[in-house]
């Protein structure tokens, strides 16, 4: 469950980086680094380029995000 002050947006994976990190692009062109969180990380889910993902940002750092769906 996301926290009250988090920002949720959808994005598209554009690149797979080292150590389960992904470069994700949002609809407005903003790019960020995202990591899988929760059950996806425990199940070792891998995302491929062009996969649509749901991201959670903290309002103070929009350069990093967590993949929550």
Q: What is the pLDDT of residues 7-45, one digit of tens each?
A: 899 999 999 998 889 999 999 999 999 998 877 777 778
Tell me if 2 is assigned to some domain.
no
The number of distinct structural domains making up the chain is 1
E-only strand ranges, the chain: 7-16, 21-26, 31-36, 52-58, 61-67
Tell me if 49 is assigned to some domain.
yes
| Global confidence as pTM | 0.82
Q: What is the pLDDT of residues 47-63, one digit of tens each?
A: 999 999 999 998 888 88
Range of the domain at 13: 7-67
Which CATH number is 23's domain given?
A: 2.40.50.140
């Amino acid at each position: 469950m996301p926290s009250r002050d988090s920002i949720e947006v959808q994005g598209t994976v554009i690149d797979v980086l080292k150590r389960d990190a992904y470069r994700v692009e949002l609809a407005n062109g903003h790019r960020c680094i995202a990591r899988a969180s929760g059950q996806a990380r425990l199940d070792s889910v891998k995302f491929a380029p062009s996969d649509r993902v749901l991201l959670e940002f903290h309002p103070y750092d929009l350069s990093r995000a967590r993949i929550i769906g």
